[in-house]
Structure 1
Amino acid sequence: MTLIAMISAKGSPGVSTAALAFTLTWPAPVLLAECDPAGGDLLAGYLARYELPPDRGVLPLASSALRGTADQDLTGNLIDLDAPRQQRMALPGLTEPAQSASLNLAWTALGEFFSRMTTRTVLADCGRLAAAHPPWSLLAQADLVLLTLRAHSLRTVSPAVSALSALRRQLPEGFVQQHVGLLLIGGGIASREISRHLGAPVVASLPWDPQTAAALCGDGRGRRRAPLMRHGAAAYDAVTERIAAQRMDSALSRRDTEQLPVTL
């Protein structure tokens, strides 16, 4: 179906909060996969008030993907955020950053598994590129990589320059141009200026909403109609339209490069 990876350059621009806001508001079935090498936030944050089994999540599913049994083991590793509807599922992340090294060989298998899923969109929260052991091979299989940054000032935008350079070095040639877009958090510098400065399109924007962000981190109560949640729901159309346009461009490029049959 669709794999969307969400990343940030460094600091805390809100990539995990944005991923959770998307998951809780999007109108289509979705799976939030915590693939941050620095560790997941759900169990200690949004889901902290629940007593949940600690032995489920991305690490055991990664082992299953390497064994070829991820299809059978998926459900047992998920948490239903919208029980019992199973429309909004979550795959908890690592509990210790030290575990990230053990996933280096598994990111490819996980990315392939997520890309093959036919029942729901996968939102992979991949955290900061500045962390140790970024999941490059998973990012390389995404239909869209959203680089998340605050639009407040040059100080908050400038880390994206080095992040985009790293993406160009680590991912296949042409991938960044075709599959990477920007997700802006808050106001400040105009989106067209950020896009021109970074050489990447702005796909969607979310407001700076500290109260709702705190609620999504498990601190306080939020409102379903809060600005962050409303804009999260509205971002669905922009993101899916971007992916559809990319797929159309790829199909046209393949058609243009196909050799015509030779008749003698």
Structure 2
Amino acid sequence: MMALIVIISGKSSPGTTTTVAALAYGWPAPLVVADCDPAGGDLATGWLSPWWLNGRLHPERGLLSFCTATRHTTSITADLLTPHLQAVPPAPRARLLSGLADPAQAISLQEGGWIRLAHALTALSTVPSGPVDVLADGGRLTAEAEAPWPVLEAADLVLLAVRPVPRHLHSAQPALTLLRQRIPQDRLGLAVCGTGQLGVREAHTVLGIPARLGLPEDPETARVFSDGLHHDKKVRRTTLARTAARAAARLHQAGTTIRLAHWTPTTMGVAR
């Protein structure tokens, strides 16, 4: 079985994309990293910018190209994603579905694009070579902004990224209200960024949902995952990378367990 996990935030910038990159770097199984931020994706031009700048990554090949290619397709299968995925040089187990280059492109997904993507991502559980996990960056969730709801509703876990400081906790509350209206409680959790155990407990106490992961404050390594700076083999030995790898292993198992608990033959391979 596979795990489909989405990380999203409120209107502040608590480190959602950095968290997705750090988890992908240490993910223990085959993985698709899907940049689903309707406001524009940063994974290819941030974490993976050294390979984008030298021409090994192509941001225009990804979410938008998938939605354009499948706009007249009625039967969505996982293999339709393959031409739009790219290797992730620092994470050999992962492949990238690059995000939008401009928020204006999000209109292309409103005519069923997010639904087709949700079906394709969920279908990765049945590929012949073995199931593939999905880790998606959902961007910011606000009442005013477009959101990739079909992908969120298909997810085994939706994690709300937050830092345990007042303005982040405050901005997370409206997003959590929106999530609770559409996502079952047992599929919700927190990704608490830039803190220790005390901060993780504080976020849980204030927001009232379990913390599925907590990542430590490590600004130098965080810049690698946010901006691609000074990426070398030493990154794997840093506190942030090691903590993220352990969290990735737990999330892989947790997402798979939740999918097994909710699985029925009629729901397998379609967006729930």
TM-score range, shorter chain: 0.7 to 0.9
**Partner of residue 111 from structure 1, selected from 104, 109, 118:** 118
* TM-score, structure 1 normalization: 0.84
Check 1:45–1:244 CA distance in 2 against 1; reply closer, same or farther (3 A cut). Answer: closer
Q: Deviations over 1:1-42 (max 9, x none)?
A: 221111011221111111011111111111101000011113
Q: Does 1:139 align with 2:139?
A: no
CA-based RMSD of the aligned residues comes to 2.4
Identical columns (%): 38
Q: What is the TM-score of this pair, normalised by structure 2?
A: 0.82
* 1:114 partner amino acid: L
CA contact (8 A) 2:190 2:213 kept: yes
Is 1:13–1:185's contact at 8 Å kept on the other side of the alignment? yes
Paired residue type of 2:8: I
Alignment of 1:145-156 (within 5 A): 145-151=158-164, 153-156=165-168
Q: d(CA) in 2 for partners of 1:46 and 1:181?
A: 24
Give the drift of 1:199. Answer: 1.7
Give yes or no for the alignment of 1:5 onto 2:6.
yes
Give the aligned partner of residue 262 of structure 1: none
Question: Where does the alignment leave 5 or more consecutive residues of structure 1 unmatched?
Answer: 252-264
Structure 2 alignment gaps of length 5 or more = 126-130, 264-272
Task: Give the Å deviation of 1:69.
Answer: 5.9
Rounded Cα–Cα distance in structure 2 between residues aligned with 1:63 and 1:86: 27
Cα distance change, pair 65–5 in 1 and its aligned pair in 2 (3 A): farther
Q: Are the equivalent residues in 2 in contact too, given 1:23–1:32 (CA < 8 A)?
A: yes
Task: Confirm or deny: 8 A CA contact 1:64 1:70 kept in the other structure.
Answer: no
Structure exhibiting the larger radius of gyration computed from Cα positions: 1
How far does residue 54 in structure 1 lie from its aligned partner after superposition?
4.6
Q: Contact 1:65/1:110 (CA < 8 Å) preserved in 2? A: no
Higher RCO, 1 vs 2 (CA within 8 Å, ≥6 residues apart): 2
- State the match for 2:222 in structure 1: 213
- For 2:84 and 2:92, how far apart are their aligned partners in 1? 13
Which residue number corresponds to residue 120 of structure 1?
132
**1:192–1:74: structure 2 CA closer, same or farther, 3 Å change rule?**
same
Q: Which deviates further from its counterpart, 213-222 or 223-232?
A: 213-222
